[in-house]
Amino acid sequence: MLSLTIFLPVVGLLLCWALPAKHARAINVVTNVAVLVLVLMVWGGMQGMETLQHVEKADWIPAVGIQWHIAVDGLSLSLLLLTAFVSLTAAIASWGIEKNPRGYHMLFLLLLTGMLGVFVAMDLFLFYVFWEIMLLPMYFLIGMWGGPRRQYASIKFFLYTLAGSVLLLAGLILVRMGANTWSIPEIVAMAKSGQSILPEGVNPSLVFVAMFIGFAVKVPTFPFHTWLPDAHVEAPTPISMILAGVLLKMGGYGLMRIAYPFFPEAAAGWSTAIAIISVIAIVYGAFVALAQTDFKKMIAYSSVSHMGFVTLGLAAGTAEAINGAMYMMLAHGTISAMLFMIVGVIYDRAHHRDIDRFGGLAWAMPKYFLLASFAFFASLGLPGLSGFIAEMTTFIGTFKSDSQRWAAWASLAGIVMTAAYYLITLQKVYLGKTPAVYQDKSHYPDLSKREAAVLVPLALVTLWMGIWPATAMNLYAYFTTNLESLLKAATVGLGS
């Protein structure tokens, strides 16, 4: 069933190719619905969350021991759900793409296959292949359907992520050599039992750093984040949604699934450094967001700031902090998708994104205003919405950590600035006197049904995740305690 889920988009892709171009968008949406249904069925078929289930294993490249090995546990499942859901909303948001729709939707579906594959691959090589396959459609989607500086943004995105991937690849090769297997669960088990997973004489600390950088480029963690504002600003709205909603989560997932469990000692050893760059990301990202006049760029920097909590939670290493980090990935996935859609909606009408040139939109487009302020408050951490839970849990967890308590205090500045830039933007764009141009309903209609169909489901999930976090947290609760005990043992090992 998992294979079917992964390859269903490929079937959709072939249909897009075979049928007339005008059907492509419908095929894309239908395929996304089907994928979401399949992921929900996978969820329904799971017994407990801790073990790997729906395992599919077959020899792929027997000569070097590479297997087609896919499976899900709670950690994978929560991100699969996010992927399928955000991708569906992005597919609906793509309905209005007019330039070469066939090519667009084919690449979109290829991207979906890559994303789903990354979260279920349990073979290091397979993981890497999916990780890289995604780059190709993303490169074309930004480069061909993006804004005026798309050529620059797309190659920058490609170069940054490939540089990260290459370091990751070097790390994976070394692990394969030491552990003599490509299987992720087997390597994790070896690392847990204290066996060496690297060839003799290779410093695990350096390999961890290589892998960390590889994943950190995707997260993106300061100072590897500079590709993100460019890519986001130039990408078409639905692709920005996917980029922020799903792609960034792959970095965090890679850290949690691979880098941390493989090298807990090295991770514990670097935790202060990671906490420092996380705090910089949170605070600096927020300050830079505050300084933006481009609406979309502001949202992009807010992503940098929020994703800092993911690495911060991992650096703190307590179960609560890791829980918060994971929750941040899920919460940010839906909220940032909303935010980019909100920018997209106004850009479609005004054809610019300059925050200072808006004003008074609230009365012209009340439904839009309602959802926009909902997303803003969710992102700045209003209690009752998912962003709050994520930040709060990470904070509590970080306070509990003896070594990184300072980081919790330091990142408070980021929270304050986050509130500042959202409130200021809210005021500048939506409040104040409504200029006459916005009264023109033919140019500034309120949300269309299609736009509402993108935003409302995202908002509902955000609300639900804010009221009842247990739904999502129960999926991966086991993982946070496991990783905590692994890191604790590693820290003790470091001290002795």
Partner 1 sequence: MPDLGPLVPSILLTVAALAVLLTDLLGRGRRPVVPAVLAIAGFVTAGLVAWGQAPDTAVVFGVLRADAFGLAMTVFCCLVGALTVVATMRGEAFRTPGGEYLLLILAAVLGMIILSMSVDLVTLYLAFETVSIPSYVLVGMRRSDLKANEASMKYVLFGAVSSAAMLYGLSLLVGLVGSTSLDALSVAMTNGIGAQPIFWVACVLMAAGFAFKISAVPFHFWAPDVYAGAPAAVGGFLAVASKAAGFAALIRVVAAVVPGQVAQATGAGWLPDGPFLLQVVGVLAILSMTFGNAAALRQTEIKRLLAWSSIAHAGYILLAITVWSDSTLAGLVLYLVAYLFMNLAAFAIAGMVIRRQGSGEMSAFRGLARRNVWLAVALAIVMFSLTGLPPFFGFVGKLQLFYGVFAKGYIALGVLGLLNGVVSLYYYMRVVTAMFPFSEQEGEEAATAWRLPLADKLLSAGLVAPVVLFGLFWSPLWEWAKAVTESVIGG
Nearest to 128 by CA among 171, 71, 89: 171
Q: Which of 128, 301, 376, 377 binds partner 1 (CB under 8 A)?
A: 128
Distance (Å, whole) CA 96 – CA 348: 10
CB of 211 to partner 1, least distance (A): 13
| 151 near partner 1, judged by CB under 8 A | yes
Complex with partner 1: residue 150 or 332, whichever CB lies closer: 150
Q: How far is the CB of 210 from partner 1 (least distance, A)?
A: 8
Residue 10 interacting with partner 1 (CB under 8 A)? no
Please choose, out of 71-79, 128-136, 240-248, 333-341, the segment that lies near partner 1 by the rule CB under 8 A.
Answer: 128-136
**Toward partner 1, which CB reaches closer, 157 or 327?**
157
Choose the binding region for partner 1 from 25-33, 78-86, 144-152, 307-315 (rule: CB under 8 A): 144-152
For partner 1, which residue of 3, 4, 33, 132 counts as binding (CB under 8 A)? 132
Question: Binding to partner 1 by residue 190, rule CB under 8 A?
Answer: no
Q: Which is nearer to partner 1, 240 or 394 (CB)?
A: 240
The least distance separating partner 1 from the CB of residue 131, rounded to whole angstroms, comes to 9
Which is nearer to partner 1, 17 or 478 (by Cβ)?
A: 17
Nearest to 311 by CA among 263, 270, 265, 262: 270
Instruction: Tell whether residue 21 is a contact of partner 1 (CB under 8 A).
Output: no
Listed ranges 19-27, 151-159, 366-374, 446-454: which one lies at the site for partner 1 (CB under 8 A): 151-159
Q: Which of 32, 67, 76, 154 binds partner 1 (CB under 8 A)?
A: 154
Stretch touching partner 1 by CB under 8 A, among 130-138, 319-327, 342-350, 372-380: 130-138
The backbone torsions φ and ψ at residue 253, rounded to the nearest 5 degrees and listed phi first, read -60, -45
- Two structure tokens written together for 203: 């410093």
Q: Does 396 bind partner 1 (CB under 8 A)?
A: no
Q: Of 18, 20, 44, 63, which lies in the binding site for partner 1, with binding defined by CB under 8 A?
A: 63
Reading phi first (left if > 0) and then psi (alpha if -120 to 50, else beta), residue 384 is in left
Interface pick for partner 1 out of 14, 61, 424, 437 (rule CB under 8 A): 61
Q: Residue 427 interacts with partner 1 (CB under 8 A)?
A: no
224 near partner 1, judged by CB under 8 A:
no
Give whichever of 85 and 158 is closer to partner 1, judged by the CB atom: 158
Interaction of residue 20 with partner 1, rule CB under 8 A: no
Contact 191, 131 (CB under 8 A): no
Quote the least distance from Cβ 142 to partner 1, whole Å: 9
Residues contacting 132, CB < 8 A, separation 6+: 165
Comparison of 206 and 431: residue with beta carbon closer to partner 1: 206
Number of residues that bind partner 1 (CB under 8 A): 35
CB distance 250 to 131 below 8 Å: yes
Q: Which of 201, 356, 436, 496 binds partner 1 (CB under 8 A)?
A: 201
CB of 286 to partner 1, least distance (A): 31
Which of 217, 472 has the CB closer to partner 1?
Answer: 217
Interface map 163-182 toward partner 1 (x if CB under 8 A): x--xx-xx--xx-xx-----
- Regarding 218 and contact with partner 1 (CB under 8 A), the answer is no
Closer to partner 1 by Cβ: residue 127 or 301: 127
Task: Give contact residues for partner 1 (rule: CB under 8 A).
Answer: 60-64, 128-129, 132-133, 135-136, 139-140, 143-144, 148, 150-151, 154-155, 158-159, 162-163, 166-167, 169-170, 173-174, 176-177, 199, 201-202
